[in-house]
Amino acid sequence: MPTRALVALVAAVALTLAACANGPSTPKPSGADAVIVVSAPFAGLPSVARPIERGVRLAVEQINGAGGVAVEGRRVRLRVQLADDQSSPGVAAANIRHAAGIGAVAVVSEGTGVDAGWQDADRAGMPIGITYDGDEELVDPAGRPNVFRVAPTNRGASFRLAEYLVPKGLRFALLHDDSPYGTAGGRALDKAFVRNRPSVTADLQASAAPGGDPAPQVLQARQSGANALVVWASPPVLAATIRAARQAGWQVPIYASTTGEDPLVRQQLADHPQWLDGLTFVSSRLTSEKGPKPFETYRQAYEKRFGPDKVGVTSGGRAVIAPPDWAMYAYDFANLVADAMHRSGAARASAELVKGMSQAEILGANGDERSFNEKNHEGVVDDDIFFATFRDMVWTPVKDDPLSATLPPVPQT
């Protein structure tokens, strides 16, 4: 084969392999439709990825069922494209570049790869929506004008956690894992407890590698004299930390970041459900000041479309159902994209669409007005953080925090 032809063949094969690695190729949307790409860890952490996908998909189906997005006198239908980020920043950045290349109107992400991919998206005029990771460094209106978030922030969760725990007079061991999620959470905890360092007995890091064992860090925490353990880690590491403490006979109260609610934690502790009792985690409230009805209406629509999200454990002999709160953030973001398209008159990625995101405003799934703060591009306010504790595999809001005590119980069986 001539050299020039061989080079051409190799290049063609390389392009084909790259397309396969980044997901199925999709033609550029016509004037009749627009694409929202969901980039999330579908294989590695489906408990994180699937709610994001389903929230976007539910919003898109409802929008299309109502005729599509009204854009300058015509109707534009939305389509959802999935891309597994494999929990890899490099793969996630490639997913973002792929989305920008096809003219997608947005990428919805759990947060992986935003550091590496936001510039490609910005050049294309494509908004990125983070609906899981609360790392404050991911969102910066001045430096990253196309990045927005609908999820609790690390700043809000950590400071509310410190505000809740310090008056209890406890001595805390802080433990985070070395994943991007855990590392950012560790920084947030350090800032939150900076004025109360005498109450912190140890600041520890565990490995997030598959099969990693946090038992040595749990032992260090115990030997430090701590009588409370604060954990900011991925769901597998959090579950392993609880297991290590309880197997060692350490009945210390454990407080966790938002991953405490993740179904994977309960699944991995299903052989000893009592070990989960008393775990307290932080989250953003599901219901608004208007009451529980809006969230219940959204939940009914979600479960009618996808069925209840069964956790895989039981409580009192009944299957435990996870409320679709994480899906709610992705649902709201997709609706905000549609509103921005309508306001800006842009049916494709563009500078006008990004500007439109700052002006978008909708009635969120829980009844709150949902929009982005122009100063920080956040869609969830820090004041809405509450605390919940587990008993028999289901959680209820705590009673010793003013906001949490006012929240209605959420059915989970």
Nearest residue to 202 (alpha-carbon basis) of 227, 165, 168: 227
Classify 40 as helix, strand or coil: strand
**Residue 27 pLDDT:** 34
CB 365 within 8 A of CB 294: yes
**Residue 3 pLDDT:** 36
Structure token pair of residue 182: 């855990």
Band of the pLDDT at 10, cuts 50, 70, 90? very low
Nearest residue to 136 (alpha-carbon basis) of 121, 152, 116: 152
Q: What's the mean pLDDT in 71-78?
A: 95
Structure token pair of residue 87: 């929990």
Decide if pLDDT at 22 tops 70.
no
Overall residue count recorded for the chain in this entry: 413
pTM: 0.89
Taking the C-alpha atoms of residue 228 and residue 103, their distance in angstroms, rounded to an integer, is 49
Band of the pLDDT at 32, cuts 50, 70, 90? low
Percent of the chain residues past pLDDT 70, beyond the cut: 92
Indicate the Cα dihedral angle 346, 351, 352, 356, nearest 10°: 100
pLDDT in tens, 137-181: 999 999 999 999 999 999 999 999 999 999 999 999 999 999 999
Band of the pLDDT at 383, cuts 50, 70, 90? confident
Sketch the domain layout of the chain as residue ranges. Answer: 15-152+326-381, 154-288+311-323+384-406
Can 15-152+326-381 and 154-288+311-323+384-406 be said to share one CATH topology? yes
Q: Scanning the structure block, which residue is given the tokens 């793969």?
A: 91
Average pLDDT, the chain: 91
Query: How many CA atoms does the CB half-sphere of 306 hold within 13 Å?
Result: 22
pLDDT in tens, 212-265: 899 999 999 999 999 999 999 999 999 999 999 999 999 999 999 999 999 999
Beta bridge partners of 107: 37, 128
Decide if pLDDT at 125 tops 80.
yes
Domain 15-152+326-381 = CATH 3.40.50.2300 = yes
Q: What's the mean pLDDT in 378-390?
A: 94
CB 103 within 8 A of CB 27: no
Instruction: Select the CATH number that applies to the domain covering 154-288+311-323+384-406 from these four: 3.40.50.2300, 2.70.50.60, 3.20.20.70, 3.40.140.10.
Output: 3.40.50.2300
295-303 LR contacts (CB < 8 Å, sep 24+):
295/328, 295/365, 295/366, 295/367, 298/324, 298/328, 298/331, 298/365, 298/366, 299/323, 299/324, 301/58, 301/62, 302/54, 302/55, 302/58, 302/327, 302/331
